């Protein structure tokens, strides 16, 4: 993961069901140390978020996906497929974000993933980032306001507009709410290379 490993681990290791079966999407190491977990990842050659993927079971108690939904060209399909693979009242936990989560172009900070001719990728060349999540309620969140203040020195005076300009695929909370009862939390990190994480917890409807 990187600089924010410890913070993310603390968030993900509290509050979600650890009772099998559990699926982790976008993980090769089982970083959460959950018993009886099924790992799915591009590098394991058993999961591609932009393909017509299927998991081993359709009755997972929980699905966890950290730093993976960013890569989805159609994040709505990600939500639908997770819903299909969860048991009744099963839960999904995932994050999306904006800012310098990865920086192939350190001299050209982006709020989103695509700016001019530059398109951020990670893990392997051509594995591009596409998505984030948005809701206008973020505008009043103190962590969003903190992030917005931090990016002003980097030339961004309208964070929301920059998100819609630089992120190819925007997932809305209203869409997620069609499939899940949700809670969310925002977390702003770092002054030098600002990041904003949006953590989503959803219970299957």
How many contiguous H segments (helices) and E segments (strands) does the chain have? 5, 10
- Indicate whether 1 pLDDT > 60: no
pLDDT in tens, 106-132: 678 999 999 999 999 998 899 999 999
State the SS3 of 26-83: CCCCCCCCCCCEEEECHHHCCCCCCCCCCCCCCCEEEEEECCCHHHCCCHHHHHHHHH
pLDDT in tens, 19-60: 899 999 999 988 888 888 999 999 999 999 999 999 999 999
Mean pLDDT, residues 79-97: 96
Domain boundaries 5-204, corresponding CATH code = 3.40.50
What are the structure tokens assigned to 162, written together? 């920059």
Which stretch of 63-77, 102-116, 149-163, 165-179 has the lowest confidence by average pLDDT? 102-116
Q: Residue 2: its pLDDT value, please?
A: 62
Whole-model pTM: value is: 0.94
- Reported as type and span, the H/E element at residue 170 is strand 169-172
């Amino acid at each position: 993961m990187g600089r924010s490993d410890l913070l993310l681990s603390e968030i993900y290791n509290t509050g979600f069901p650890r009772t099998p079966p559990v699926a982790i999407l976008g993980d090769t190491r089982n970083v959460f140390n959950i018993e009886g977990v099924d790992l799915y990842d591009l590098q394991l050659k058993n999961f591609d978020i932009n393909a017509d993927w299927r998991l081993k079971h359709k009755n997972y108690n929980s699905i966890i996906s950290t730093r993976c939904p960013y890569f989805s060209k159609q994040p709505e399909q990600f939500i639908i497929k997770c819903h299909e693979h969860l048991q009744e009242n099963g839960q999904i936990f995932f994050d999306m974000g904006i800012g310098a989560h990865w920086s192939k172009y350190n001299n050209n900070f982006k709020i989103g993933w695509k700016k001019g001719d530059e398109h951020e990728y990670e893990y392997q060349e051509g594995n591009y980032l596409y998505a984030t999540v948005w809701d206008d309620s973020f505008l009043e969140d103190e962590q969003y306001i903190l992030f917005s203040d931090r990016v002003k020195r980097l030339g961004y005076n309208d964070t929301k507009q920059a998100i819609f300009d630089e992120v190819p695929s925007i997932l809305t909370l209203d869409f997620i709410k069609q499939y899940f009862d949700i809670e969310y939390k925002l977390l702003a990190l770092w002054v030098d290379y600002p990041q904003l994480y949006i953590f989503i917890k959803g219970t299957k409807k």
